[in-house]
Structure 1
Amino acid sequence: MKLVLAIAAGGALGAVARHQVSASVMRLAGSGFPWGTVVVNVLGSFLMGVLIELMAQRLNVGIELRAFLTVGFLGAFTTFSTFSLDFATLFERGAGVAALGYAALSVVLAIGALFAGLAVMRFLLS
């Protein structure tokens, strides 16, 4: 039961953080392209890399805290379902090239950010 509560609490905080970050980015960048979703997915992927490496090398955390951070917080913070909806919206509006660019940009940057997070923590912890 503690594990479920940890995930739920992390999820609640991650969802609120996603909304705040996404809204802030959209205010700065405008609403013509889903930059808010790109930013939360890239940032979330980077943070996942940082946390996974940190927990693997230095932090001996319990399963509840690990689940709170990764499954709960970052699971709710990153937005694959929103990513899919943004892609479909761009595509259905006739912006097929922008939709494909959005998908490629999101996937490449998010995976790159995860590797960057791993590398940063490996460097800092070595």
Structure 2
Amino acid sequence: MTAPGTRTGEPTDPGTGPPPPARRGPGRDQLPVVAVVALGGGAGAAARYAASLLWPVAEHGFPWTTLGVNVTGCAVIGVFMVVITDVRAAHRLVRPFFGTGVLGGFTTFSTYAADFQRLVDGGEARRALAYLAATPLLALAAVWLAVTATRRVLEWRRT
């Protein structure tokens, strides 16, 4: 007969049985991803800051630098995605580093919102609305054009 709480009469003390399987922390597999996103984000933000130093915008001027950074970043993401999906497989950390980190830090849709508010507060409602509409339209057009052009170049090189 077996003792209560056991199947075969073994002791119920958990310290006497085989050790439980090793458990990993819930985010442990994500640490390298978080690290490369942070590194890439720092690099992208530094590049954006450099662009703002190279092409400063007047206090009440149109935010051409932010518009240019966002459109350029979107075009680069279009090329990047074609390269890592159609040309060659990338290491698992390339997309988070470059796509999320570098380009996420480089493009700045929060500054886009702040620029819009700055234009409105400065009495430039028409310019603000033009900027509000132009940024996402140009950004989406940049992605589409970059993807299309990259695929055509790749097809041309294969023939």
TM-score by length of 2: 0.74
Structure 1 counterpart of 2:35: 5
Cα displacement string for residues 69-101 of structure 1 (whole angstroms, at most 9, x for unaligned residues): 100000010001000000011011111001001
In structure 2, stretches of 5+ residues that fail to align are 1-30
Q: Tell me which amino acid in the other structure corresponds to 1:42.
A: V
- Code of the residue aligned with 1:71 in structure 2: it is T
For 1:55, the equivalent position in structure 2 comes to: 84
Q: What is the letter of the counterpart of residue 62 of structure 2?
A: F
- Corresponding letter in the other structure for 1:56: T
CA distance in 1, matches of 2:140, 2:95: 21
**Could you report, residue by residue, the CA deviation over 1:40-90 in whole angstroms, capped at 9, with x for unpaired residues?**
000000001000111110121122111101000000100010000000110
Q: Partners of 2:55 and 2:128 in 1: how far apart?
A: 19
Corresponding position of 1:92: 121
- AA in 2 matched with 1:2: P
Structure-2 residue corresponding to 1:77: 106
Letter of the 1:21 partner, please give it.
A
| Amino acid in the other structure paired with 1:20 | A
- Cα separation, 2, equivalents of 1:4 and 1:122: 30
- CA distance in structure 2 between the aligned counterparts of 1:101 and 1:77, rounded to whole angstroms: 22
Q: 1:36 Cα shift?
A: 0.8
- 2:51 counterpart residue number: 21
Task: Flag the structure with larger Rg.
Answer: 2
Partner Cα distance (2:52, 2:85) in 1: 29
Select the structure that is richer in helix: 1
Shift of residue 23, structure 1, vs aligned partner: 2.5
Aligned length: 123
Instruction: Using the TM superposition, give the Cα deviation of residue 17 of structure 1 relative to its aligned residue in structure 2, in angstroms.
Output: 0.5
- Give unpaired runs (5+ residues) of structure 1: none
Over 4 Å off, 4+ runs: none
* Structure with more relative contact order (C-alpha pairs < 8 Å, separation 6 or more): 1
State how far apart, in whole Å, the 1-side matches of 2:49 and 2:153 are: 30
How far apart, in 1, do the equivalents of 2:102 and 2:140 lie? 18
- For the aligned residue pairs, the C-alpha RMSD in angstroms reads 1.0
Normalising by structure 1, what TM-score?
0.93
State the identity %. Answer: 36
